Structure formats: structure tokens, C-alpha cells
């Protein structure tokens, strides 16, 4: 039996380490600058200070460039058994069906985006259904070994989360926790690690929230899990395993968590994102804009100056057509009593510095106009030329593209482990093809024989690559190197003319030909004998 103090002691030790590394403070700062909260903590007397956020477009450009590569997962047998080929093909179809149902394309986009901002991000599978995925902040994941980026080699992992006290107590009662221990579960104010969404700590009693720790540890190669608050273990340490004929089956051998690191840091389990390198220049740009704004307010517009002892109604000076009452004593002219100060000329050096700083920062970050694909008229440029331009401009992101490929591979390794652990008797997943629902089944015997070896095929799926494929197929058909049927097989699925529509044309043509052939075979022979006799 694991004591609550054992888990909490490990948690406090690991938390102190990441606090010393300023993980929480830096992550909050990165998100503030990305979201546009770039004057946090500045005393401005209630005035909204100007800023020009170039961090967000840089991050969005790089994330979209990296995530535009679709991935296809193929499973194969490590021993090359031909009799298992169909099983692995079915496993690949199950993966594709679950990937679509879990909306993993958008989830991967979110994982990569958070990694690009804060350096690393995490996907957690807390149930036996892989569609129930949670994207975790790097501040919510506490690692035992902060020098090892390999999740599966961690001695233990702690996930901290804010849960309503009422819900924690309900779970504790179901798990048979003593009432005296349940009463120690109280709301707290540990919200420093939350991003842009602090808890309302005014709620007391069961209406508030408490920090709950989900503790994961491998014991004899099997993942065990426990849950606790600071003073109560409300779920004892137990293995993550399925059931076979009412008895515990094989246990989960992999932590149900996958990490994504934007850029590796030596001897660190955490990564570095894009925002960190842009912070100093973003701050200087904002300061320069604020100085220019202040200078414009103070000196760029004419201002009135007057002798207040001679002007009887100064409140009317800014009213259109109002008469100005003066008491000059007849000794001074009106121009001596009231006049306008001419606007001062501001040096252009500030604007030149501002523009150069932003341009050079974007260039060094790989987010120039060319990299962003800002072409005057892309329809007049060949698709192959656009692809070449994009490839050249985004070559520096090849490392991140490979990391997204590895992310998909990690999913492809973990999901069968979860499926086979919780479905030892076999599993069936439905897949919809052309509006028809088809079952995909793997039996218990097949599960016992499966040893997946993952191969990931990555291919681009963007308008320019589709256009290039379409142009190549059009050229082959025009030169009569291929038939129309072969042309339909070559065109991209979602090209300018979708493949599905062309396939419908082929099916309709084939049905017409079959109808004509059947009608020809049903012709009635003339009177006086059948066709054989006439011949």
C-alpha cells in the first residue's frame, strides 16, 4: 500500500526542480506574448499601450507548414509472415478509422502548436478508448527524470489536475476510503500552473477544486496508477490491465502518454519553442512603438497657448465659432495673448529602426514574405514552382516535420498496446466506406500472434501538390500514354476534379455498356426458326 506522503513527497521534489528552472513562469510568459498580453505588469496609468504582435504569425506559419503533411500508418510483421499480412492490413484500417473518429488531425495541430509556443506538449489517454485523448500542458506533467526526454524510460510520471472536491469525494467513497480520510479532502488555491484560466478560489467546501495527482509507475514492466490529494490517497496503486474470462489479463506495458518536443535541448526532457528567441525583439518593438506613439501625441499636432489672465472664457477655446473674450488692457495684440505652437518634426530613425528590426526578426525566424507564400498571383505560377519555393523556404523546418512523423509513430505504437490490453478477447471497430458501415475485426488468436513493426509513410496533401499531380495526369492522358480508366486511378482524391466523381462516370458508363450487352443478348429471333437454324 502506497502512502499519500510518498507520492506527495515525490511531487514536491520534482515541482521544486521545475520551479527553479522557471518552467511555470516562462510558459505563462510565452503564452501571454503569443496571445497579445504583452504589457502584463506594466503601470500605464490605465492607458492601453500599443503593440505589434509578430510572434503569433511566425508561430502560426511554422505550425501550419509542419502540420500540412498528412501521415499514413502501415503495420507489418517483424518476421515477414505472409499469412499475417491481412491481419496487419486490418490493424492499419482500424488505426485509420480511430484516427478519424478521434479527430486526430486537429488534435495533432493543437499538440504541435502548444509545443511550438511552450517547447513541449503531451497527449494523455486516460481510458481504454483512445478517442478520449487529453492534450496536457507541459506544466501539468511532472517527470521523475528531467534529463531524459524518453517518456517510456521515466521511473514515474505525475499528472496534476484541478478536480472539483465533490467529484474526488465520490470517487473516494466508491473505492472504500475511510470517511475520516475523505474529510481531509478540501479545496486549495494551487492555481499558479494554470495557463490563462485561473480557478475561482473563493468557493469553499465541496464547491471548490483541489489539486489531484495522477501517479503512474512501471512495476515489473506493467504500468500502475494511483490518485491522491495532499492528504488522501483516494485510489490505491493498481495495475492498468484488462480482463479475460473474469480474470486479470495482460497489463499495459507503455505509459499512456505521448510527448512532442519542438526543439531538443541537451540533457533536458523539456524542449524550446519559437517564442523564447523572439521575446527580446518583441519587447523592443513594443517599446519603440510606445515611444513613437507618445512623441506623436506630445508634438505631432498643433497646441494652443494663451495668457490665462487675459482670456475671460478659456473653456470656449476649443468650441467652433465661439467668441473669445479678452482683457488685454489695450497694450498687446491678439497674437501676443493667444497663439498656436507648430508641430515638432520627429526623426525618421525610430521608424527605420522599427521596420528593420521587425523585418530582420522575421527573416531570421524563417517567416519572410516568400516563406509565408505571399505571391502576387499564384494562379500564374506553375504548381511545381510553388512547391519548389515552399520547399526551399521551409527547409529549416524539416526537423519539426520529422518530429510530427515520430509523434504519429508513437501513437501507432501506443494504440495497439491499449487495444490489446483492454480487449484480450478480440476487438471490432466499425469503418464507414462510401456511406456503408463495415466491421473491422481482430480475433484473440490474431492478437496473440501480432508483433507490430511500424512503418510511417508521409506524403504532402496541399493544393499545390494536388495541382502538380493533376497536371502530370492530364499531360499523360493528352499524349495518349494512358487510358481514361488509368487516368482516373492517377488523379488525386480531392483534386480540381475529385476522383470520386470520375469514378461515378466510369461506373455509369460500365452500367450502360452492360445494359446494352444484355439487351442485345435478349433479341427475339425472326419467325421460321432460331438463329442457329438460319445460320
Find the range with the poorest average confidence among 94-103, 266-275, 348-357, 359-368.
359-368
Tell me what the pLDDT averaged over the chain comes to: 81
Strand 257-261 to strand 120-125: parallel, antiparallel, or no bridges (unpaired)? antiparallel
pLDDT at 533 over 50: no
Per-residue confidence (pLDDT) for residue 532, from 0 to 100: 45
Grid coordinates standing for 413? 505504437
Mean pLDDT score, 257-276? 93
Upper half-sphere CA count for residue 228 (Cβ side, 13 Å)? 24
User: 18 pLDDT exceeds 70?
Assistant: yes
From the CB of residue 509, how many other CB atoms can be counted at a distance below 10 Å? 12
Distance (Å, rounded) from C-alpha 200 to C-alpha 209? Answer: 9
Helix (H, G, I), strand (E, B) or coil at 223: strand
Q: What letters, b where the CB count within 10 A reaches 16 and e where it falls short, cover 275-300?
A: bbebeebbeebbebbbebeeeeeeee
C-beta separation of 189 from 165 below 8 A: no
- Stretch 261-290: mean pLDDT: 90
pLDDT digits (tens, 9 = 90+) for 296-323: 777 777 778 887 777 778 887 778 878 8
What secondary structure letter does DSSP report for 36?
T
Cβ contact 468:495 at 8 Å: no
> Hunting for cell 480482463 — which residue is that?
243
For 10-24, 113-127, 295-309, which range has the lowest pLDDT when averaged over its residues? 295-309
Cell of 78: 517483424
Q: Facing residues of 225 across strands?
A: 216, 238
Task: For 39-60, give the DSSP string.
Answer: TTT---TT--------HHHHHH
Report helix, strand or coil for 259. strand
The residue-averaged pLDDT of 200-223 equals 82
**pLDDT tens profile 138-177:** 999 999 999 999 999 999 999 999 999 999 999 999 999 8
Q: Judge contact between 143 and 289, C-beta under 8 A.
A: no
Is 111 strand, coil or helix?
helix
Calpha distance 239→253 (Å, rounded): 10
Alpha helices in 307-462 (DSSP H): 334-337, 349-364, 383-393, 398-422, 444-449
**pLDDT value of residue 194:** 82
Instruction: Judge whether residue 114 has pLDDT over 60.
Output: yes
Residue 465 banded pLDDT, cuts 50, 70, 90: low
Provide the pLDDT confidence category of residue 257 given band limits of 50, 70 and 90. Answer: very high
Residue 458 is predicted with a pLDDT of: 52
The predicted-structure confidence for 421-451, as pLDDT tens digits, reads as follows: 998 888 888 877 656 677 888 888 888 888 7
With contact defined as beta carbons under 8 Å apart, do 221 and 15 qualify? no
The domain ranges of the chain are 4-29+97-274, 302-342
Per-residue model confidence (pLDDT) at position 360 = 72
* 278-287, 322-331, 457-466 — most confident range: 278-287
Model confidence at 274, pLDDT cuts 50, 70, 90, reads: very high
Cα separations (Å) of 113 from 60, 323, 388?
8, 62, 25
As to burial, measured by CB atoms within 10 angstroms (0-12 exposed, 13-18 middle, 19+ buried), residue 362 is buried
Give the pLDDT band of residue 14 (cuts 50, 70, 90). very high
Q: What local confidence, expressed as pLDDT, does residue 225 receive?
A: 95
Rg (CA), the chain: 34
Amino acid at each position: 500500500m502506497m502512502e499519500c506522503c510518498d507520492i506527495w513527497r515525490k511531487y514536491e521534489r520534482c515541482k521544486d526542480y521545475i520551479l527553479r528552472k522557471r518552467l511555470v513562469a516562462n510558459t505563462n510568459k510565452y503564452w501571454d506574448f503569443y496571445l497579445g498580453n504583452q504589457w502584463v505588469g506594466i503601470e500605464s496609468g490605465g492607458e492601453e499601450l500599443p503593440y505589434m504582435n509578430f510572434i503569433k504569425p511566425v508561430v502560426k506559419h511554422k505550425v501550419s507548414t509542419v502540420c500540412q503533411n498528412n501521415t499514413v500508418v502501415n503495420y507489418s510483421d517483424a518476421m515477414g509472415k505472409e499469412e499475417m499480412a491481412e491481419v496487419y492490413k486490418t490493424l492499419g484500417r482500424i488505426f485509420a478509422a480511430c484516427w478519424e473518429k478521434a479527430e486526430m488531425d486537429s488534435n495533432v495541430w493543437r499538440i504541435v502548436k502548444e509545443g511550438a509556443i511552450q517547447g513541449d506538449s503531451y497527449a494523455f489517454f486516460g481510458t481504454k478508448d483512445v478517442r478520449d485523448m487529453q492534450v496536457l500542458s507541459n506544466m501539468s506533467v511532472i517527470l521523475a527524470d528531467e534529463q531524459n526526454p524518453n517518456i517510456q524510460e521515466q521511473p514515474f510520471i505525475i499528472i496534476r489536475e484541478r478536480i472539483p472536491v465533490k467529484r474526488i469525494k465520490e470517487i473516494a467513497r466508491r473505492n472504500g476510503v475511510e470517511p475520516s480520510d475523505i474529510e481531509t479532502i478540501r479545496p486549495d488555491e494551487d492555481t499558479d500552473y494554470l495557463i490563462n484560466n485561473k480557478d475561482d478560489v473563493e468557493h469553499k467546501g465541496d464547491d471548490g477544486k483541489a489539486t489531484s495527482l495522477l501517479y503512474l509507475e512501471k512495476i515489473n514492466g506493467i504500468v500502475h496508477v494511483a490518485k491522491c490529494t495532499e492528504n488522501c490517497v483516494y485510489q490505491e496503486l493498481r495495475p492498468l490491465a484488462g480482463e479475460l474470462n473474469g480474470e486479470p489479463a495482460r497489463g499495459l506495458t507503455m505509459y499512456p502518454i505521448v510527448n512532442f518536443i519542438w526543439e531538443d535541448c541537451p540533457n533536458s526532457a523539456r524542449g524550446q519553442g519559437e517564442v523564447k528567441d523572439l521575446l527580446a525583439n518583441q519587447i523592443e518593438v513594443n517599446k519603440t512603438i510606445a515611444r513613437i506613439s507618445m512623441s506623436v501625441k506630445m508634438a505631432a499636432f498643433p497646441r494652443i497657448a494663451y495668457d490665462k489672465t487675459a482670456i475671460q472664457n478659456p473653456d470656449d477655446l476649443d468650441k467652433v465659432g465661439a467668441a473669445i473674450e479678452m482683457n488685454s488692457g489695450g497694450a498687446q495684440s491678439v497674437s501676443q495673448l493667444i497663439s498656436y505652437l507648430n508641430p515638432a518634426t520627429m526623426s525618421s530613425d525610430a521608424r527605420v529602426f522599427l521596420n528593420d528590426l521587425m523585418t530582420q526578426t522575421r527573416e531570421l525566424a524563417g517567416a519572410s514574405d516568400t516563406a509565408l507564400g505571399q505571391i502576387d498571383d499564384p494562379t500564374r505560377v506553375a504548381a511545381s514552382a510553388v512547391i519548389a519555393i515552399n520547399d526551399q523556404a521551409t527547409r529549416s523546418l524539416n526537423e519539426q516535420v520529422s518530429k510530427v512523423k515520430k509523434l504519429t509513430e508513437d501513437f501507432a505504437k501506443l494504440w495497439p498496446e491499449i487495444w490489446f490490453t483492454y480487449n484480450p478477447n478480440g476487438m471490432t471497430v466499425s469503418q464507414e466506406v462510401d456511406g456503408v458501415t463495415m466491421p473491422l475485426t481482430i480475433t484473440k488468436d490474431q492478437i496473440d500472434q501480432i508483433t507490430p513493426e511500424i512503418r510511417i509513410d508521409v506524403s504532402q496533401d496541399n493544393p499545390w501538390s494536388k495541382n502538380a499531380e493533376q497536371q502530370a495526369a492530364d499531360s499523360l492522358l493528352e499524349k495518349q500514354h494512358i487510358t481514361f480508366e488509368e487516368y482516373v486511378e492517377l488523379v488525386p482524391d480531392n483534386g480540381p476534379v475529385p476522383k470520386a466523381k470520375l469514378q461515378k462516370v466510369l461506373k455509369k458508363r460500365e452500367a450502360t455498356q452492360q445494359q446494352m450487352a444484355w439487351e442485345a443478348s435478349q433479341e427475339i429471333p425472326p419467325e421460321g426458326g432460331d438463329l442457329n437454324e438460319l445460320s
